[in-house]
A and B are shown apart, each in its own frame.
Chain A
Amino acid sequence: MHPPSPRAERPIHPLVVRITHWVNALAMLIMITSGWRIYNASPIFGDWAFPKAITLGGWLGGALQWHFAGMWLLVANGLVYLTYGLASGHLRRRLTPLRPREIAHDFVAALKFRLPHDPGVYNAVQRLLYVAVLLIGIVIVLSGLAIWKPVQFAPLTALLGGYDTARIVHFLAMTGIAGFVAVHLALVLLVPKTLPTMIIGREPHLGRNHVVKP
């Protein structure tokens, strides 16, 4: 990293956050699509199964190999992100405070499309969603451990209601994350300028003399 020049901008998304964001996107894609194939081997909800075309692995054994390879990427990357986020104060700065009144206010404003987008600053609804998805991320890893190792981590499995219940918890956590991804992608399509900021750290310079505010 070069020392910041007087005119240098602080990136909207720090480099660590950008890298871990995209590694996480890949890891999640692997985990969710292979997880769907694993689910299909013994559906929880009646006979309902995921269309095979959107699953990864081809057959149960392949999907399991993907899932138990992807888990290392997901967890290692998640630990880098959380360690950085907690140690640097990034999580505290970006994701707090969470006040019900602000959340309610911003939620109504968002529904009316009256919420201004301020790069790098999250409104209360965004903060709530990001905190929620991080917590669900922790739940999905713990419930995954509980069904992968119900003997070695028996107390964890018991805490999650036993093997069969932990399996449902794992599935519901996936549903929560998939729902988050759907909203997240819809918002990126609505506000496309947020996409380059997650790649290059700032908004792209559009005009010749265009100055981007920090």
Chain B
Amino acid sequence: MKPFDRLLRRPRPDITIPETHLIRADRRLFLRGGLVAAGSLALGGCDLSDNPQVESILGGISRLNDRVQGALFGSTRLAPTFDVADITPDFPFNAYYPASKIRVIDGSTWKLELAGLVSDKAPWTLDRLRTLPQEAQITRHVCVEGWSAIGQWSGVPFRTFLERIGADTTARYVRFACGDDYWTSIDMPSALHPQTILALDYAGAPLPPKYGFPVKLRIPTKLGFKNPKHIMAITVTNDYPGGYWEDQGYNWFSGL
């Protein structure tokens, strides 16, 4: 996957321009001077990784955008659904590692651990998850990179699961820790959204490893990287948990 390869690369500082071009006093040169200054800004000065002040301002606006998106979020507004014919053939695999590093988890020994503001912390087996009501959806997965693909997932509505384990649904965050060393977190209103599911199946069959066996969070109201695979542990908490990409600068809420 090409987009995936780009995702793999960790952010690197850009080449820097050693000197700032001064805007000339001459009015006729003002515009050109401005463009050169702006150009060098784009080239060197404002890379996230090398200017702490800019990083802090942009980070602050990103947190403001978290709040704006939380306010925009409609707790019963549904993501568009599609027909079987619309499903993207060969749904893309995507992660922070290449396909050769896909984790293969043993479903017979796997247990879902629970932590935090949950009254019943007994771990769940795959069989027990299958005894809960299941729901199917055909929705669009939108990647932060810009591409999108339509897939079919089914599994346990996450709200049902949270209620079953006695989670404090007034808590702010749900954190997911994954078998591929990935982690992410979502806000409680999005966790309780009717289309948020603990997906066990893709296209009517158990999730293959590349799509996150044994359990993946399918949340069509958020960008793809908020849909963790190979979930090993779920924590309900009021302490901001961040995430693998979020800690590097991707917007935390990342709602669609």
Contacts and interface: CB of A to CB of B under 8 A. Distances in A.
Interface of A: 25-26, 29, 33, 38-42, 44, 47, 52-62, 64-66, 68-69, 72, 147, 149-152, 154, 157-158, 163-164, 167, 185, 188, 192, 195-196, 199, 204
A154 B11 CA distance: 32
A183 to B, nearest CB: 14
Nearest to B139: A151
Interface residues of B, number: 54
Given A58-B11, A61-B48, A62-B249, A41 B146 contact: yes
B256 A149 contact: yes
Nearest to A150: B256
Nearest to A153: B72
A69 B6 contact: no
11 contacts: A38-B146, A42-B146, A47-B2, A58-B46, A61-B248, A65-B58, A69-B61, A149-B256, A152-B73, A152-B77, A167-B146
Nearest to A188: B31
A64 B142 contact: no
Interface in B1-51: 2-3, 6-7, 9, 11-15, 27-28, 30-31, 34, 38-39, 41-43, 46-49
Contacts of A26: 38
A157 B215 CA distance: 30
Contact of B13 (A47, A52, A58, A65): A58
Given A62-B48, A68-B65, A152-B74, A192 B28 contact: yes
Interface string B129-151: 00000000000101111111000
Interface string B220-256: 1100000000000000000000000100111100011
B13 A195 contact: no
B79 interface: yes
B165 to A, nearest CB: 27
Given A149-B72, A150-B140, A199-B27, A56 B58 contact: no
A181 to B, nearest CB: 10
Contact of B145 (A42, A52, A72): A42
Nearest to B34: A25
B62 A68 contact: yes
Contacts of A52: 14
